Structures are given as C-alpha cells and as structure tokens.
C-alpha cells in the first residue's frame, strides 16, 4: 500500500479521525484512566494483594485508551515512556496498621531501602483515614501497573481510586 504524506496545513484538526493498527509517537497523556472500587464494602487484604478497582466508566471515571483492565485491576502501557500513577485508599476500619504500594508487572516497586515496597503506611490508629500515593516511573510497552497491599490492610472499596497517564 502506498503511503501518502499529508501537510499539517491541509488537515482540519476539528474533524474526527479514526485510526487502525498500532500508533506510535503518541502525545503525552494520550492514555489516561481513573477507576474506583465501586462497591460500598470493606475488604481485608493480605500483603501483596492487588486492590479492587472494577469501575472505569461511571461517574467521573474514564479510560481514554482502553488500557485499564477492570477484571485484573491492572493498567497496561501501550508504548515506552514515562508514566504517572496515583492512588487514594480509604482505610483502617478496625485494622491499626495499613500499607500500600505499586506493582510493576509482578514485582513490587521499591524506591526506598525496604523490601516491602511501601509507598504509604499508617499504624497505631484504628480511625478511618485516606492514604495517597504517587509515582512517576518509566515503563516499556506492555508493562503493567497495579496498586497492592504491602502489609495486611483493611480498605473501603467504594471510597478508593486508582489512576494514571503517560507523561512522555
């Protein structure tokens, strides 16, 4: 198939375009998502458990690139790049020690001198509170990211969120 080169001034960017195949050189933020727990229920999770985020389409949740899997709760990178991910986890119930972090592929992300991979941790308090974690991390195409417990933790699914986007 012959390729055509189109000059920028000959394109009307107000038009809608449909692309097929694999796109490369995507602009920053081309893939972004926000998902939440969707269920008003507490969960008790063992260390290393991926947190439950099955809703990326109701309320203000979204998945612009269809890269977040609502059955595995993992985001899959479309292309090599630098990505930003965040979580907000409503936690405690009756558990006085709760910790969370990120999982890249099948390995805990470790950016400190601790094998637990802790990004947020709170202990000695059974009052409810919100833990917020953020990471900027390079990913290769098809790498996955998820939020995990780093210690035995209780969290309220309905008030917890996970999101991210490609930065560059």
Q: What's the chain's length in residues?
A: 168
Q: How far apart are CA 141 and CA 83, in angstroms?
A: 11
User: Which residues lie closer than 8 Å to 69 by C-beta, 6 or more apart?
Assistant: 75, 76
The model's pLDDT over 26-41, given as tens digits with 9 standing for 90+, comes to 555 579 999 999 899 9
Read off the tokens for 158.
């309905």
The model's pLDDT over 100-134, given as tens digits with 9 standing for 90+, comes to 999 999 999 998 887 788 899 888 877 888 999 99
| 109-128 per-residue burial string, b: 16 or more CB within 10 A, e: under 16 | beeeeeeebbbbbbeeeeee
CATH number of 28-166: 2.60.120.40
Confirm if 158 and 124 have CB atoms less than 8 A apart: no
Confirm if 117 and 166 have CB atoms less than 8 A apart: no
pTM of the model: 0.81
Q: How far apart are CA 32 and CA 15, in angstroms?
A: 22
């Amino acid at each position: 198939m012959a390729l055509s080169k189109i000059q920028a001034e000959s394109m009307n960017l107000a038009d809608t375009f449909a692309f097929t195949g694999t796109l490369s050189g995507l602009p920053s933020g081309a893939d972004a998502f926000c998902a939440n727990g969707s269920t008003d229920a507490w969960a008790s999770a063992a260390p290393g458990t991926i947190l439950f985020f099955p809703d990326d389409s109701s309320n203000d949740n979204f998945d612009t690139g269809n890269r977040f899997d609502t059955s595995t709760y993992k985001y899959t990178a479309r292309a090599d790049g630098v990505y930003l991910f965040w979580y907000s986890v409503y936690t405690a119930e009756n558990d006085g020690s709760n910790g969370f972090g990120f999982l890249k592929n099948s390995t805990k992300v470790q950016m400190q001198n601790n094998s637990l991979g802790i990004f947020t941790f709170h202990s000695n308090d059974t009052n409810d509170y919100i833990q917020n974690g953020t990471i900027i991390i390079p990913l290769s195409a098809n790498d996955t990211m998820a939020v995990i417990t780093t210690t035995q933790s209780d969290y309220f699914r309905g008030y917890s969120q996970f999101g991210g986007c490609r930065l560059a």
